[in-house]
Structure formats: C-alpha cells, structure tokens
Amino acid sequence: MKKTVTTLADGRELIYYDSADDTVRDAVDPRPLDAVSTSSEIRRDPLLGDSVAIASHRQGRTYHPPADECPLCPSREGRHSEIPDTDYDVAVFENRFPSLAGDSGRCEVVCFTSDHDVSFAGLTEDQAALVLEAWTDRTADLAELPQVAQVFCFENRGAEIGVTLGHPHGQIYGYPFVTPRTEQMLRSMETHRAETGRNLFDDVVARELADGERVVLEGEHWVAFVPYAAHWPYEVHLHPRRRVADLRELDEAARTEFPQVYLELLRRFDRIFGPGEPPTPYISAWHQAPFRAPGREEFALHLELFTIRRTSGKLKFLAGSESGMNVFINDVPPEAAAQRLREVASE
C-alpha cells in the first residue's frame, strides 16, 4: 500500500491509499473554496449523561446530487470534485460539513472506489483489503490526536438509511468522548469480569459457537452470528476469533481472510429478500476500544452489520418504545434471521 497525503483548496486533508507502490499523486485542487467554517459544539445531557453534537452548519451539505455532479467521483475536465485526481483506489478526506471538528473531534469521508456505480459488495477482495488498510491507518493516525478518545469507522448504505450521496463511501468519526454505546459495553464487561472472572466478549462468542443456531458464517480467523438478543430484523456481529481491542491489533492472517468473509456477508444481505428486490439498506459499524479507557485491553473489536428492512417493501421504524424508552421490539426472531442468511450463501 502507498499512502499519499495532500490538501484540498480550503486546507482540508486528503489522503490517497493506492495498491501500487509506484503510484504518483500530484493533482492540485483548483477550486476557489473558502476556508471551512464550522459551528460544532458538544453539549452534555444532565439527565442521561450522554453527549449531543450541535452542528447547524450541516444544513447546507450536498443532498442527492445527480450522478454527473457527484462530489466523490474523480475530477474531470470542467468538473472538479473533492478528489482532484482523475482516478483513485481509496481516498479519505476531512468532511466539508463535519458533525465534529477542532477540539470537538474530527469527521472524515472514506471513498471505497472511484467507480460511482458499484457497492462495497461489488469490490474485489484486493479492493476490500485496501479499505481495511485505510480504516486501520486512519485509526492509528487519529489515535495520536489529543482531542480524539475513540474512532468509529462506519458505512451507511441506502436512501432509507438517510444516505445523501450515492457514491460508495463511508465515514470515520473521531469522538472527543467515549460514546454511550461503548460505555454501556464497558460497564457490562466489568460486571461480567467481577461476577465470573472471565471476559464477556469471549463468553458471548463461545456461547454462539456452542449453540450454533445463530451462526451465519465461520472462517478460520473470523466468525459471524446473529446475536441472541438482536435489536434489528437482520443483524450480524462479526468477530475475529483472536480477541483484539482495535483494528491496529489484527494479525496478518485475520487481515487476509477479512475480505472473503465480509464481502460474503454483504452479498448475502443483498439476497435476503429474494431476486428482484432493490439493494438492502444497511449500516456497517466497527466497534473499537476507546484509546484511554481503563481496561481497554478487555474490549473486543467487532463489526455490527444490520438492516432496517424487516421484510419485502417494509422498513423497521423506531416507534414509541424504541425511540422513547430505548426498548427494542424485533419482528424477526434471531434464529430465523440466521437461517435465512445461511440459505442465501454464495454457491
């Protein structure tokens, strides 16, 4: 992998990740851009104890542009985008409309490929491996920023999820705090250790492997399963068999196998509802240990992949119980979801 760091016309950082070591990236962003002005503010809720990012400047962000005006496609004659070069493998840049910025953290956009019309599931294994390298490298770089406490790499796919740009891309958030979801996992982890003397994540994975009914896919170095208490209609958790705290700690064997396993999961997701159905909307989220949290070595890196589509033509909306009280009601039994995901395996 070759990494090339440059800047856009307004001073934002842009990083190219290329498979070929001899790739030269010297294109200059010619756009007359003003410096990015953000109004990100973190406010803490005194009742719930969590944090909310107030980011009013995001109201003006790009919204469903036509394909020939996509800001994530490579630049071409007469049409300059966020990527100055005429082609790229993987590109990462600071978000022009960040939810978090400055002392309040950092937001980046990850473009998985220059091909506007492909999805992550359509990437080759080599392309997916390069994205993994980019996620890992960004995690390492952001870990050095004093204002970043935790890094979250994720992809939202589909208009139903709220995606406003159709180009295959994801995002990376560098939070200035430990997220509420992670704090809850850390508390559960500590309680489990105190009660049993064992690691909670290890026990969860061992339970799923022993039961087997909810296991979707097993590799030599990765295992994917629908969790016992899945929140979403179709939800899969992907764990490396060797527990690590974050992407930086994956060994070479796990990195090599990851593209095979992950691409298979994504392709199964697109087949859940049968032929002729539109691509399945999903959220794919990496859970990594906070950098400076006590007991971070006990945390287990894992990826959660889920869809809000519960059946053909119907979405799972967060209604009163979910939105008001955070008590989820799942219409699809986890065992049935796992069975369906095994049925649609690639031949």
Please answer whether residues 232 and 239 qualify as being in contact, where contact means their C-beta atoms are separated by less than 8 angstroms: no
Cβ atoms within 10 Å of 138's Cβ, excluding its own = 21
**CA 90: distance to chain centroid?**
15
Q: Which residues of 265-275 are buried (b: 16+ CB within 10 A; e: fewer)?
A: bbbbbbbbbee
- Gap between the Cα atoms of 328 and 309, Å rounded: 15
Instruction: Please count the CA atoms within 13 angstroms of the CA of 142 that sit on its side-chain side.
Output: 34
Which of these, 116, 125, 120, 51, lies nearest to 81 by C-alpha position? 116
Q: Concatenated DSSP letters for 209-246?
A: HHH-TTEEEE-SSEEEE--TT-SSSEEEEEEESS--SS
Beta bridge partners of 108: 94, 172
User: Per the structure block, which two tokens stand in for 232?
Assistant: 């979403």
Helix (H, G, I), strand (E, B) or coil at 109: strand
In the chain, helix, strand, coil percent, each to 5? 30, 25, 45
| Residues assigned a catalytic role | 169
> In the chain, what is the greatest distance between 2 CA atoms, to the nearest angstrom?
64
- Gap between the Cα atoms of 263 and 130, Å rounded: 13
Cβ atoms within 10 Å of 98's Cβ, excluding its own = 26
User: Per the structure block, which two tokens stand in for 315?
Assistant: 């979405």
Which of these, 242, 330, 334, 238, lies nearest to 286 by C-alpha position? 238
- Gap between the Cα atoms of 103 and 250, Å rounded: 29
